[in-house]
Amino acid sequence: MEIEAKSHPLDRYLRAERIPHIWCPGCGLGTVLNCFLHALEETNINLKNLAVVSGIGCTGRVAGYINVDSYHTTHGRAIPFATGLKLANPKLKVVVFSGDGDLFAIGGNHFIHAARRNIDMTVICVNNYNYGMTGGQLGPTTPLEARTTTAPYGNIEHPFNLCHVAAASGAVYVARWTSLHVRRLKESMKEALNKKGFSFVEIIAPCPTAFGRRNKEPTGLETLKYYKEHSVIKHGIDPAEADIEMGGDIIVGKFVDIEKPTFDEAVHELIKKARK
Amino acid sequence: MKKQIKFYSGNIAAAEGALVAGCRFFAGYPITPSSEIAEHMALRLPQVGGVFIQMEDELASMAAILGASWGGAKSMTATSGPGFSLMQENIGLGAMTETPCVVINVQRAGPSTGMPTLVGQADIMQARWGSHGDYEIIALSPFSPQECFDLTIKAFNLAEEYRVPVIVLMDESVGHMFEKVVIPPKDKIKIVERKKPTVPPEKYMPYKAEDFVPEMACAGEGYNVHVTGLTHDEKGYPQATDPEVQDRLVRRLCDKIRKNEKKLRDIEEYEMDDAEVAIVSFGISARSSKAAVRLARQRGYKVGLIRLKTIWPFPDEYFEKLADEIKKFVVVEINYGQIKLEVERNVGRDKTFLLPKMGGEIHKPDEIYRKIKEVYNGN
């Protein structure tokens, strides 16, 4: 069957020739990308100066669909790559778009140090509780007791609370939403994009193919229903109080929004002094 | 501008060479015996408007210099064995995405933590084969502080010309040795810049190359480039299930170096005109070898030295031709036979002899001389 493709108001942000994307039905990534493109449109960022950097995994493929300078790097290394990119060209607005495994397991060390330095970049992390692309293995965010291909008896590892890690490491902006909260998510993305310094947005998103069907949520719709019933908005709370548990509430909202000098400003100030 | 005369260690000379070459971004992680390079860059880069950052590890350092290169800067890192191992992942990304950058490895004795403060030359094969998959890099080996300066400039020029990570394989002895270094006037130093696209963005094919090396558009230049470590087509888009695209890409990545071996060849021949036996060496080992050749010549042995300044790509054709003229080759290196493998591959096993050191000390000229005598007399 031939399907006639109609143009979309956000087409100019996409590499249309690369669509359809690789993501599964029911996956949250399309929604998150849509929110991001709307955020771009509403913030009027000069696309010429926007660079998107991804690591490896399903979320890692975001870079390949956005029609800007985009870099699909190695597993876990999106943040240090983005650090070099931003420091070499301070004009750039640099966004790192990657998954929970990429950013917090293999790339965890880079995440905490970029946050500590307060490198001027926005990190968007889609957290689907598992390694989706490789078939649904345990990740650093898999809730206790959840079943994955490498935790067939249920997960016995304590997961990271990503917003707590980000805040404790020094991020100046920290927010969490689910992929159901499209308007609030878009607003947070706009705030993060406009924020000077290391800003972090976590999105809890369904992965029916690799995670949901092993955990009694075989479709994306069921997971979205769960978000609807269990999300609790608590702006400004200590992110330490926002742990995620299997079957528990998901606390969402904006947790951190502070001002702090960035590494970028400091390094260019230092250069000015050294050149005198 | 007049030439300047400095008294530099090899490490400082390499850092100064990088600055002259136009390096404006350094990311690194402290490690003996290369730390002086990072320290010197931390001091000097801000003075020329460049950025220095100390990263959390060598994985990050290597990733950051790739990012900086795509941000438009000439970029570099410096390390030693254990850090070089961590960098292999993103050296592979650099080779795959054709990112110009320079990696200095001041070699110490390994494996693993080995002898952190003492000399080694055992990362020769790692420099060539360290990351997974088929790819080619360029590696240069200086044997004096002067050459640390000169070859680091050359490394940047080759990185820009070939769009490939270039490795400067120094060693602890050369890195810490102080000697006179002549800095030529600026207008006498050749500096190469990467080729930029001349077509408008809609016509630009980031990975299409007429002569093996494509033009490079950096971030913020309006070309909306997509760069990926996945197998990619000429547009830069992933084609990770198409063996034909893989074939085209991998062939070009390798051939851009292989087919330019002659151009990249850099060999110093010493007393080779009538030589019957040739020492093959590089880095600090070539200095002991040179002294040994002088010693042997004084005693009437027709022996010469082939000193490799370009280690990779290896000069196969050069050695193949020499195989007819030279009776025996003695490879002098501080490892258990790495360059020896390359030499014997070209001249034959029966003509290749090895004088190894496992690391932690350099060869003494008289032990090389004794080996020359032994090989010369057919024992």
Kindly report, residue by residue over A190-225, the tens digit of the pLDDT.
Answer: 999 999 999 999 999 999 999 999 999 999 999 999
B67 at A interface, C-beta within 8 A: yes
Indicate the residue among B188, B220, B237 that finishes a domain: B188
Indicate the residue among B126, B156, B188 that finishes a domain: B188
- Specify the pairing of strand B165-171 against strand B101-109: parallel
Residues B289 and B184 in one domain: no
In eight-state DSSP terms, residue A86 is: H
Which of B51, B222, B228 faces A88 most closely, judged by CB atoms?
B51
Residues B305 and B158 in one domain: no
Residue A107 confidence class, pLDDT cut points 50, 70, 90:
very high
ipTM of this predicted complex? 0.97
CA B323 to CA B15: how far, in whole Å?
Answer: 38
pLDDT value at residue A7:
80
Q: Provide the residue-wise pLDDT of chain B in tens; the chain has 379 residues.
A: 789 999 999 999 999 999 999 999 999 999 999 999 999 999 999 999 999 999 999 999 999 999 999 999 999 999 999 999 999 999 999 999 999 999 999 999 999 999 999 999 999 999 999 999 999 999 999 999 999 999 999 999 999 999 999 999 999 999 999 999 999 999 999 999 999 999 999 999 999 998 999 999 999 999 999 999 999 999 999 999 999 999 999 999 999 999 999 999 999 999 999 999 999 999 999 999 999 999 999 999 999 999 999 999 999 999 999 999 999 999 999 999 999 999 999 999 999 999 999 999 999 999 999 999 999 998 5
Kindly report, residue by residue over A127-162, the tens digit of the pLDDT.
Answer: 999 999 999 999 999 999 999 999 999 999 999 999
Residues B371 and B274 in one domain: yes
B47 at A interface, C-beta within 8 A: yes
CATH number for the domain spanning B314: value is 3.40.50.920
CA B253 to CA A234: how far, in whole Å?
Answer: 52
Q: Do A92 and B219 touch (CB under 8 A)?
A: yes
Which B residues in the span 145-184 are in contact with A, Cβ-Cβ below 8 Å? none
Residues B159 and B44 in one domain: yes
The answer to whether residue B133 sits within a structural domain is: yes
B54 at A interface, C-beta within 8 A: no
Residue of B nearest to A270 (CA): B46
CA B202 to CA B269: how far, in whole Å?
Answer: 50
Residues B16 and B124 in one domain: yes
**φ, ψ for residue A143 (rounded to 5)?**
-65, 155
Residue A1 confidence class, pLDDT cut points 50, 70, 90:
low
Residues A36/A124, Cβ–Cβ less than 8 Å: yes
Residues B341/B364, Cβ–Cβ less than 8 Å: no
The answer to whether residue B220 sits within a structural domain is: no
The answer to whether residue B245 sits within a structural domain is: no
The answer to whether residue B214 sits within a structural domain is: no
Residue of A nearest to B25 (CA): A88
The answer to whether residue B111 sits within a structural domain is: yes
For residue B218, give how far its alpha carbon lies from the nearest alpha carbon of chain A (Å): 8
Q: Do A84 and B66 touch (CB under 8 A)?
A: yes
Which of B49, B218, B224 faces A271 most closely, judged by CB atoms?
B49
| Residue A186: strand, helix, or coil | helix
Over pLDDT 70: what percentage of chain A?
99
The answer to whether residue B337 sits within a structural domain is: yes
Alpha carbon separation from A147 to A36, A130, A215, B136 (Å, rounded) = 30, 10, 6, 43
Kindly report, residue by residue over B133-174, the tens digit of the pLDDT.
Answer: 999 999 999 999 999 999 999 999 999 999 999 999 999 999
Residues B164 and B285 in one domain: no
Beta bridge partners of B87: none
Indicate the residue among B160, B188, B216 that finishes a domain: B188
Q: Do A109 and B229 touch (CB under 8 A)?
A: no
The answer to whether residue B88 sits within a structural domain is: yes
In eight-state DSSP terms, residue A102 is: I
How many beta carbons lie within 10 A of that of residue A53, not counting itself?
34
Alpha carbon separation from B108 to A125, B61, B335, B357 (Å, rounded) = 40, 19, 11, 12
Residues B183 and B272 in one domain: no
Longest dimension (CA), chain A: 69
Alpha carbon separation from B248 to A98, B75, B97, B137, B234 (Å, rounded) = 29, 28, 14, 18, 10
Q: Do A267 and B51 touch (CB under 8 A)?
A: yes
Averaged pLDDT for residues A21-48? 96
pLDDT value at residue B1:
73
CATH number for the domain spanning B91: value is 3.40.50.970
Tokens of A26: 């029911």
Half-sphere exposure of A118 (CA within 13 A, CB side): 19
Structural class in CATH, domain A25-275:
alpha beta
Residues B99/B165, Cβ–Cβ less than 8 Å: yes
A40 at B interface, C-beta within 8 A: no
Contacts of B60 in chain A (CB under 8 A): 77, 79-80, 83, 109-110, 113
B93 at A interface, C-beta within 8 A: yes
**Domains identified in chain B, total number:** 2
Calculate the average pLDDT of chain A. 96
Residues B172 and B64 in one domain: yes
Q: Is 90 exceeded by the pLDDT of residue A85?
A: yes
Residue of A nearest to B229 (CA): A73
Q: Is 60 exceeded by the pLDDT of residue A50?
A: yes
Interface residue of A54, A89, A269 to substitute, partner B, most B CBs within 10 Å: A89
Q: Do A271 and B65 touch (CB under 8 A)?
A: no
pLDDT value at residue A276:
85
Residues B119 and B13 in one domain: yes
CA B87 to CA B80: how far, in whole Å?
Answer: 10
Averaged pLDDT for residues A29-37? 97
Q: Do B219 and A84 touch (CB under 8 A)?
A: no
Averaged pLDDT for residues A52-59? 97
Q: Where are the domains of chain A?
A: 25-275
Taking alpha carbons only, the member of B139, B154, B182, B142 closest to residue B21 is B154
The answer to whether residue B211 sits within a structural domain is: no
Handedness of CA A70, A76, A80, A84 (dihedral sign): negative
A154 at B interface, C-beta within 8 A: no
Q: Do B67 and A84 touch (CB under 8 A)?
A: yes
Domain that holds residue B178: 4-188
A274 at B interface, C-beta within 8 A: yes
Specify the pTM: 0.97
Residue A106 confidence class, pLDDT cut points 50, 70, 90:
very high
On the 0-12 / 13-18 / 19+ scale of CB atoms within 10 A, A86 is buried
For residue B65, give how far its alpha carbon lies from the nearest alpha carbon of chain A (Å): 6
